[in-house]
Structure 1
Amino acid sequence: MCGIAGAIWTKPERAIELPVLERMTSALKHRGPDDQGLYQNGYRVRPPYDAQPGIALGHRRLSIIDLAGGHQPLANEDETVWVVFNGEIYNFVDLRRRLEGSGHKFRTDSDTETIVHLYEDEGPECFAHLAGMFSIAIWDSNRRRLVLGRDRLGKKPLVYRHEAGRLLFASELKSLLQVPGAPRDIDFSAIDEYLTYQYVPHPNTIFRGYKKLPPGHFAVWQDDELQVRPYWQPDFTAEHPCAEIEAVERVRELLNSAVKTRLRSDVPLGAFLSGGIDSSLIVALMQQQAGERVKTFTIGFPIKEYDESPYAERVAKHLGTDHQTLRVDPDAVRVLPQLAYHYDEPFGDSSAVPTWYVSQLTREHVTVALSGDGGDELFAGYPRYRAAALGGWFDRVPMIRSLFAANLWQSLPSSGRQKSRVRQFKRFASSLSLTPERRYLDWISIFNEARRGELYNEDFLAQLPNSDPAGFLLAAWKRTKGRDPISAASLTDLVTYLPCDLMTKVDIASMAHGLEIRAPFLDHRLVEFAAGLPVKFKHRNRRGKWLLKRAFGELLPNEVWQRPKMGFGVPLDHWFRNELRPLVRETLLDGQCTTQWFRREAISELIEDHEQRRFDHSARIWSLLMLELWLREWGGPQIPNLPAPTTSVTEAPSL
């Protein structure tokens, strides 16, 4: 698990010299504290050869497999193909056998070298043969092209900036900002998207001119042209009926295999354990296969309704794991400046806080941990999928839908708590007049369209382009045409919320501590199988994950399968009314607030309503708080002069 950075250029004045390359790479030291490697070859014109673009590749390494031989950048035998790689390739042993059979010679035992030789055989189509999590850059000197690739579910990040005569790329935006003169012009449409989703969706970033490579895509730079294409785009419109026993056996086979392949490591390994179904099931399968007590880790809160640690501790005792719990109190938000720095963009998912701390705790004991991410999207675990199903029923009965959508329901009194039954009903009823996809967007939005309109001032509205943040989710929903409401919502989440929120949250928080996270549920073979399952195998009797219980029910106590989903939440509603009340007011309402695009009275009203318990606005306040802290961190001056490199450099071969 690592960090990568680099550039390719066709104009000498756009060159990335060694001091700049080291600065870009060193900005990712937290992702790879064990080793650093650089490769640089300047732009050259030597007739009768065609001009050779300049190339720079940088790598920071967290050693997991082949501790002695996995140094990068890594090349083929004649050094015409070079690679830098962040991630893990789980099927590299099988690929290696195939490649050796076709004549390739290996010098290391690393999965990285497999990528080099696979590219020699397959070109950019090599990514479709890889099973794992990755962001990869490949320099092909014979063809004078740079190829970038990202894994199917977006577990590993890859950002780039394509400008005249140069392409820059890196694992994180902060690396690209090390280039002298790198612009930091904020994209106002990205602010609009952030306040909608609590993240900036791909391919956009918070800065104009910088892009994220979408999951399941590769990009080819050649002759100053950049083409981005998908290599994995499963058909979500297709449902594949099968017998119940067949579905049970297949999910057992796939999930057991996914866990087994993710247990391979040359360093200590453990697991996140929340006490919910997904992480508990992964730990149970690990414990079956590991042959020793699995080390497990969880986070607890002093407020009972947010504290899953007792459930995690009961599961740990049941499974016999070596378990550690860390208690988190309101003082934990002292980490907010670090979050603003590490996330590079505004990021409004407050569960980044417990994810940060559980990563920190886990890294004190192990270098690799497995997680249960992906189970909710694949097997319909989120409570909002029940609302999607109910909305679908109302859509089939227009007269009843019209009655429930009437404004008279909004006059019902309700508590200020976001999860109160009456408030949930009122929100559901008010959205019934919308199309299913617009309705779903309205439910998951942090600030829906109406609330954003109330928040923005005239100056900000004038700068917004004529674009709709809804387009990101609507395009994903369109891919599920013909599927039932639960399948449509869960598959939409699989390609939007999961890569842009969950994978970003986990990757940044874990890599900030040099910890690798592996997610067995996101094995692409399991994802493809689950995507085609009929909804009856996922959701029955108003509960999700039916097939998981049918296949693995005996591995966990019945209370794990039966208890309501809590989510990895933070008691913000309580903290913002008590311990963190001064922080919120001082940050968002004082004269130093940099978010001058919003109506101060609208923010004040949100805070007042929350403090007086008229409404739980904690998610909205948190999103505004993180936006403000991000602006204070990243809205400063350009990067100053750079030091000389202090790391050994791989010399480029001469022509």
Structure 2
Amino acid sequence: MCGITGTSWTTRDKNISPSVLKRMTDVISHRGPDDSGGYHSDLTAKSFLFSDENTLSDFKPTSEIGAALGHRRLSIIDLGTGHQPLSNEDGSIWIAFNGEIYNYQELRKELMQQGHQFKTESDTEVIVHLYEEQGTACVERLRGMFALAIWDERRQRLFLARDRIGQKPLFYREQAGSLSFASELKSLLQMPDASRTVDPRAIDLFLAYQYVPHPWSILKGYQKLPPAHRAIYEQGQLRIERYWTPPYQNPESNPEFPFQTPQQWSEALRDRLTESVKIRMRSDVPLGAFLSGGIDSTIIAGLMQSMSDRPVHTFSIGFPVKQFDERTYAREAAKKLGTDHHEYVVEPEALEMLPRLAWHYDEPFADSSAIPTMYLSQVTRQEVTVALSGDGGDELFAGYDRYKAVALSQWFDRLPTVIKKTMTASIWQKLPASVEQKSFRRRVKRFLAGLAVPPERRYLKWVGIFDTERRLEMYSSEFREQLGNFDTDEFLLDAYQLCPDRDFVTRTTAADVLSYLPCDILTKVDIASMAHSLECRSPFLDHHVAELAAAMPLNLKMNKGRGKQILTDTFSDLLPESIQTRKKMGFGVPLNNWFRNELKPLLFDVLLDQRAIDRQIFNPAMVEQLISEHLNLQWDHSARLWSLLVLEMWFQTFIDPASLPDHFPESVLT
């Protein structure tokens, strides 16, 4: 697991020096603390260590077309010889790679039979030789998580690619005469001509989704390569194309899935997920598993233990607030599976964590579960370097409670118009608001409030933070003018088009696989784990497993209102009875309590600070009203207040300073 960065230029004035490349690489050193190196097409010794002062100081750009690649390494496979950037035999193809290729041993054998010679045992070198054979189509053979950059000197082509589901991030910036890329946005901001102009549309998207979705970035001129896409930059022209689509549409005509009975689907699921876990246990360093006590993480830990000759290290964290504490279930799972369980109790220090989140996430990111994920990654890294997780199980197998609401709303849509108007126009408004984050009344009120809009837009109203009406009320008139007719819903509406002929619940899970999973869940886990130099692997996200789930009939996933039914049935031997029947808890923190206690001063000191007001994004009176309603127990605005706080902290970290530090600034809040 690593961090990559670099640039390709087609005009000499866009050529960057090795010292600039070093700055771009150093700022993501947390992603790879074990090694660092660079490649520069203008140097005689094209591959170099950043510790070589002569290389960094004595440099004169010469080429009109060329490339520079930077790499930070977290050593997992081939600890001794896997230094990057890495080349083929004659040095005509160079790669900087972030991720893991789980089928690299099988590909290596195939390539050796074709005459390729290897100088390392790494998965990275396999990609180089596979590119020699198959060009940009090589990514279609890769099984794993990855973001990669290949410089093809003969063709003078820069090739970028990102894995199918979106586990590994890749930002890029296209200018006249160059294309730059990096694992994290802060790396691109180290370039001498880096602009930091905020995109108003990105703020609007963030407040709708709690993240900035691909291909947008919070800053104008910067973008994210979407999952399952590759980019080819050649002769100053950038071409981006999709290379994989999950097969949700027309599964009955797909010869890969000839299954007729629930048992056949179950057997196929057991085989594919078991094999996915097996190949993810390939490692030259210690590995373990996250274990929350939920269905997904327990299955993954159980499969690991079944293939291990010693107790697997498992990790969970707990909180003093009972409704957010899953340790009891994690203990039950560990006892049944026979793992070596590590349990930690943390009292999240939001004041300490806020600036750390702002710096590491690069963009405003308001999923508050990033806090416990950060803590879990920190304590896990004390024991192991690699951890397997259950991420993806909810989206692929209909595990979220909101999918029950989606199913119920289909019944509502069939009701007579008069009844629907009564329910949407009066009943929900008469329900008293709840100030409890996880209360049933709050969920019912939110459900009824969304029934008045079309199904696709209704879903965003349920899962979003600020709906369109509330955002427009919050914005200043100047900011509304900048947005024009921009429609944040279009991102989710596009995702819904993946399988228009399937039932609406399946369409919704598919939309989440394309949007919420990569933009929220996987972004959260990648940044939190890499902040602590921990590699996180997700067996559910193997594309063989994802393809099976995409083709699976809904009645196998959701049965009598219960999601993930086929997971529970297929892996019942690994799941304690209490975990099979428990309600989904989620991985969160008690924001509503925080804002009425330890975070209360921040609401006034940060959100109503003159710096925030001067940005002219929000109407200060509306911000003050949100704060007042929350503190006076009129409404639970905790998620909205957290989003505003995260946004302002991002501004203070990335926009207000004249320059960016090359490591986490400990004094952001002082």
TM-score, normalising length from structure 1? 0.95
Instruction: Tell me, yes or no, if the aligned pair for 1:86 and 1:135 is still in contact at 8 Å.
Output: yes
Report what 1:519 is aligned to.
538
Q: How is 1:228-243 mapped onto 2 (pairs within 5 angstroms)? A: 228-240=240-252, 242-243=260-261
Q: How is 1:418-567 mapped onto 2 (pairs within 5 angstroms)? A: 418-567=437-586
Counterparts of 2:389 and 2:13 in 1: how far apart (Å)? 46
Please list the CA deviations of residues 197-230 of structure 1 after superposition, one character each: whole Å capped at 9, or x if unmatched.
Answer: 0000000100000010000000000000000000
- Which protein, 1 or 2, shows the higher relative CO under an 8 Å CA cutoff with sep ≥ 6? 1
Q: Give the letter for the 1:503 counterpart.
A: L
Matched, 1:250 2:268: yes
Query: Which range moved further: 238-247 or 197-206?
Result: 238-247
Counterparts of 1:600 and 1:211 in 2: how far apart (Å)? 30
Q: Give the letter for the 1:376 counterpart.
A: D
Q: How is 1:303-314 mapped onto 2 (pairs within 5 angstroms)? A: 303-314=321-332
Decide whether aligned partners of structure 1 residues 641 and 408 sit closer, same or farther in structure 2, where only a CA change above 3 A counts. Answer: closer
Counterparts of 1:515 and 1:255 in 2: how far apart (Å)? 23
Task: Please report how far the alpha carbon of residue 479 of structure 1 lies from its aligned counterpart in structure 2 after TM superposition.
Answer: 1.3
Q: Give the letter for the 2:656 counterpart.
A: G
Instruction: Tell me, yes or no, if the aligned pair for 2:25 and 2:70 is still in contact at 8 Å.
Output: yes
Matched, 1:273 2:285: no
Report what 1:116 is aligned to.
128
Counterparts of 1:447 and 1:431 in 2: how far apart (Å)? 13
Query: Which range moved further: 613-622 or 360-369?
Result: 613-622
Instruction: Tell me, yes or no, if the aligned pair for 1:28 and 1:175 is still in contact at 8 Å.
Output: yes
Which SS does the other structure have where 2:612 is aligned? coil
Please list the CA deviations of residues 363-382 of structure 1 after superposition, one character each: whole Å capped at 9, or x if unmatched.
Answer: 11100000000000011000
Report what 2:357 is aligned to.
339
Which SS does the other structure have where 1:554 is aligned? coil
Which SS does the other structure have where 1:350 is aligned? coil
Instruction: Tell me, yes or no, if the aligned pair for 1:38 and 1:73 is still in contact at 8 Å.
Output: yes
Counterparts of 1:507 and 1:379 in 2: how far apart (Å)? 22
Counterparts of 1:558 and 1:641 in 2: how far apart (Å)? 50
Q: How is 1:74-93 mapped onto 2 (pairs within 5 angstroms)? A: 74-93=86-105
Task: Please report how far the alpha carbon of residue 408 of structure 1 lies from its aligned counterpart in structure 2 after TM superposition.
Answer: 4.3
Matched, 1:169 2:181: yes
Instruction: Tell me, yes or no, if the aligned pair for 1:340 and 1:633 is still in contact at 8 Å.
Output: yes
Q: Give the letter for the 1:615 counterpart.
A: W
Report what 2:2 is aligned to.
2
Q: Give the letter for the 1:445 counterpart.
A: G
Task: Please report how far the alpha carbon of residue 426 of structure 1 lies from its aligned counterpart in structure 2 after TM superposition.
Answer: 2.8
Q: Give the letter for the 2:148 counterpart.
A: I
Instruction: Tell me, yes or no, if the aligned pair for 2:12 and 2:63 is still in contact at 8 Å.
Output: no
Q: Give the letter for the 1:469 counterpart.
A: T
Report what 2:411 is aligned to.
393
Report what 1:647 is aligned to.
none
Which SS does the other structure have where 1:604 is aligned? helix
Instruction: Tell me, yes or no, if the aligned pair for 1:407 and 1:430 is still in contact at 8 Å.
Output: no
Task: Please report how far the alpha carbon of residue 393 of structure 1 lies from its aligned counterpart in structure 2 after TM superposition.
Answer: 1.5
Counterparts of 2:656 and 2:432 in 1: how far apart (Å)? 46
Which SS does the other structure have where 2:589 is aligned? coil
Which SS does the other structure have where 1:593 is aligned? helix
Report what 2:106 is aligned to.
94
Counterparts of 2:431 and 2:522 in 1: how far apart (Å)? 39
* Runs of at least 5 residues in structure 1 that lack an aligned partner in the other structure: 45-49, 643-655
Decide whether aligned partners of structure 1 residues 222 and 569 sit closer, same or farther in structure 2, where only a CA change above 3 A counts. Answer: same
Task: Please report how far the alpha carbon of residue 318 of structure 1 lies from its aligned counterpart in structure 2 after TM superposition.
Answer: 2.1
Which SS does the other structure have where 1:112 is aligned? helix
Task: Please report how far the alpha carbon of residue 483 of structure 1 lies from its aligned counterpart in structure 2 after TM superposition.
Answer: 1.4
Which SS does the other structure have where 2:307 is aligned? helix
Counterparts of 1:100 and 1:286 in 2: how far apart (Å)? 30
Please list the CA deviations of residues 461-515 of structure 1 after superposition, one character each: whole Å capped at 9, or x if unmatched.
Answer: 1111432111100000111202112211111111100000011100001101100
Task: Please report how far the alpha carbon of residue 459 of structure 1 lies from its aligned counterpart in structure 2 after TM superposition.
Answer: 1.1
Report what 2:58 is aligned to.
none
Counterparts of 2:364 and 2:660 in 1: how far apart (Å)? 24
Decide whether aligned partners of structure 1 residues 623 and 409 sit closer, same or farther in structure 2, where only a CA change above 3 A counts. Answer: closer
Between the two proteins, the alignment pairs up a number of residues equal to 637
Task: Please report how far the alpha carbon of residue 422 of structure 1 lies from its aligned counterpart in structure 2 after TM superposition.
Answer: 3.4
* Runs of at least 5 residues in structure 2 that lack an aligned partner in the other structure: 45-61, 253-258, 663-670
Query: Which range moved further: 559-568 or 402-411?
Result: 402-411
Query: Which range moved further: 457-466 or 177-186?
Result: 457-466
Q: Give the letter for the 2:606 counterpart.
A: T
Report what 2:166 is aligned to.
154
1:128 to 140, 154, 157: 140
Decide whether aligned partners of structure 1 residues 457 and 134 sit closer, same or farther in structure 2, where only a CA change above 3 A counts. Answer: same
Decide whether aligned partners of structure 1 residues 540 and 68 sit closer, same or farther in structure 2, where only a CA change above 3 A counts. Answer: same
Task: Please report how far the alpha carbon of residue 434 of structure 1 lies from its aligned counterpart in structure 2 after TM superposition.
Answer: 1.5
Counterparts of 1:413 and 1:453 in 2: how far apart (Å)? 24
Instruction: Tell me, yes or no, if the aligned pair for 2:163 and 2:229 is still in contact at 8 Å.
Output: yes
Q: How is 1:37-116 mapped onto 2 (pairs within 5 angstroms)? A: 37-42=37-42, 53-116=65-128
Instruction: Tell me, yes or no, if the aligned pair for 2:42 and 2:63 is still in contact at 8 Å.
Output: no
Instruction: Tell me, yes or no, if the aligned pair for 1:155 and 1:499 is still in contact at 8 Å.
Output: yes
Q: Give the letter for the 1:303 counterpart.
A: V
Query: Which range moved further: 377-386 or 433-442?
Result: 433-442
Q: Give the letter for the 1:602 counterpart.
A: M
Task: Please report how far the alpha carbon of residue 43 of structure 1 lies from its aligned counterpart in structure 2 after TM superposition.
Answer: 10
Tell me how large the CA RMSD over aligned residues is. 1.8
